[in-house]
């Protein structure tokens, strides 16, 4: 009997869609990029599901090349709002303190990327250092994905606290980029190093103890309980079709045209 294999890692289609939108704003053909990255057309219209992480890594590479934008992940992350990250985002903003919000990231980053890991690397009375890693991913796409991970955490921290909180230090396990100043500007600190053993960022203890303006203990407990049992959304087109069809059936007798429209394909493609 063969041993069971682990499911292929997946990432939020919302991230893929943000990359495509940003690339289109830079003059690239979003649909062509999606096709070249092996992503289905519905990614452009549906950000609530997941896509294979390997395809997203490929998309990062293609988008950077197509736009000649060397700081594309930073540009996208700087515009990020918590609500666009679904359950993960709402867990972040309803936490009691920033420390609790980052702990929610440690516990539930798989809601947006099952190949990502956020962990506490070191903790003192003055600061806490978190690491961000991509498991099983390498190459330029993974480097860009890690840049987005760090920059989006910084953006979430500022948006959720309503204050210009910046990390004490950021270290990237990748080579020095050409647009070094873009990192300083986006991350809010001049202490940005490259060539580190792992990718990390550290926050001051006094910042981590900040109360979150959107704190809602009751809602947070409900969301955390739900997140703890939630499986990653479907990653394949067929699984996505099953999900959409199930929703349509739940709302009554689905028509072929309605399901096809939800999938952003023709009725003939569905049949």
- Residue 151: domain span: 73-229
* Same domain as 103, residue 159: yes
* Same domain as 104, residue 183: yes
In a domain, 57, yes or no: no
Q: Closest Cα partner for 79 from 22, 29, 36, 133?
A: 22
Q: Is pLDDT of 2 > 50?
A: no
With beta carbons less than 8 A apart as the criterion, state whether 187 and 151 touch: yes
pLDDT at position 3, please?
40
Q: How confident is the model at residue 79 (pLDDT cuts 50, 70, 90)?
A: confident
**Percent of the chain residues past pLDDT 70, beyond the cut:** 83
In a domain, 173, yes or no: yes
* pLDDT-wise least confident of 59-68, 80-89, 120-129: 80-89
In a domain, 248, yes or no: yes
* Same domain as 260, residue 139: no
With beta carbons less than 8 A apart as the criterion, state whether 173 and 93 touch: no
* Same domain as 253, residue 167: no
- DSSP, collapsed to helix, strand or coil, labels residue 232 as coil
Q: How confident is the model at residue 47 (pLDDT cuts 50, 70, 90)?
A: low
Q: How confident is the model at residue 46 (pLDDT cuts 50, 70, 90)?
A: low
Q: Is pLDDT of 6 > 60?
A: no
CA diameter of the chain:
62
Number of domains in the chain: 2
Instruction: List pLDDT tens digits, range 141-187.
Output: 999 999 999 999 999 999 999 999 999 999 999 998 887 899 999 99
Interatomic CA distance for residues 22 and 35, integer angstroms: 16
Q: Closest Cα partner for 204 from 255, 163, 235, 264?
A: 163
CA atoms within 13 A on the CB side of 143: 15
* Same domain as 197, residue 80: yes
Q: Is 27 exposed, middle or buried (0-12, 13-18, 19+ CB in 10 A)?
A: exposed
* Same domain as 159, residue 89: yes
* Same domain as 244, residue 188: no
In a domain, 190, yes or no: yes
Q: Is pLDDT of 57 > 60?
A: yes
In a domain, 10, yes or no: no
In a domain, 94, yes or no: yes
pLDDT at position 1, please?
39
pLDDT at position 214, please?
96
pLDDT at position 134, please?
87
Residues 6 or more apart in contact with residue 231 via CB below 8 angstroms:
none
Strands (E), 114-168: 116-123, 127-134
In a domain, 66, yes or no: no
* Same domain as 115, residue 246: no
In a domain, 151, yes or no: yes
* Same domain as 210, residue 90: yes
Instruction: List pLDDT tens digits, range 202-247.
Output: 999 999 999 999 999 999 999 999 998 886 554 455 555 665 666 6
Q: Closest Cα partner for 85 from 157, 144, 12, 150?
A: 12
* Same domain as 266, residue 197: no
* Same domain as 190, residue 143: yes
């Amino acid at each position: 009997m063969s041993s069971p294999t682990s499911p292929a890692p997946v990432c939020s289609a919302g991230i893929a869609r943000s990359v495509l939108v940003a690339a289109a704003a830079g003059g690239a053909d979003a649909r062509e990029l999606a096709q070249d990255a092996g992503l289905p057309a519905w990614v452009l219209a549906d950000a609530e599901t997941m896509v294979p992480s390997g395809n997203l890594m490929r998309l990062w590479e293609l988008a950077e090349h197509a736009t000649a934008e060397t700081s594309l992940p930073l540009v996208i992350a700087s515009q990020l709002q918590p609500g666009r990250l679904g359950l993960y985002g709402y867990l972040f903003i309803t936490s009691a303190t920033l420390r609790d919000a980052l702990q929610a990231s440690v516990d539930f980053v798989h809601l947006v990327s099952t190949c990502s890991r956020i962990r506490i690397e070191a903790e003192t009375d003055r600061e806490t250092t978190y690491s961000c890693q991509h498991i099983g991913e390498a190459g330029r796409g993974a480097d860009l994905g890690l840049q987005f991970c760090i920059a989006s955490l910084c953006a979430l921290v500022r948006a959720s606290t309503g204050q210009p909180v910046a990390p004490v230090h950021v270290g990237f396990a990748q080579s020095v980029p050409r647009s070094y100043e873009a990192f300083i500007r986006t991350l809010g600190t001049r202490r940005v190093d490259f060539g580190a053993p792992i990718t990390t960022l550290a926050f001051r203890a006094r910042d981590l103890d900040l109360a979150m303006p959107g704190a809602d203990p009751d809602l947070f407990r409900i969301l955390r309980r739900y997140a703890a049992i939630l499986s990653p959304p479907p990653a394949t087109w067929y699984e996505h079709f099953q999900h959409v069809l199930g929703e349509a059936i739940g709302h009554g007798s689905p028509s072929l045209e309605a399901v096809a429209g939800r999938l952003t394909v023709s009725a003939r493609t569905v049949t």
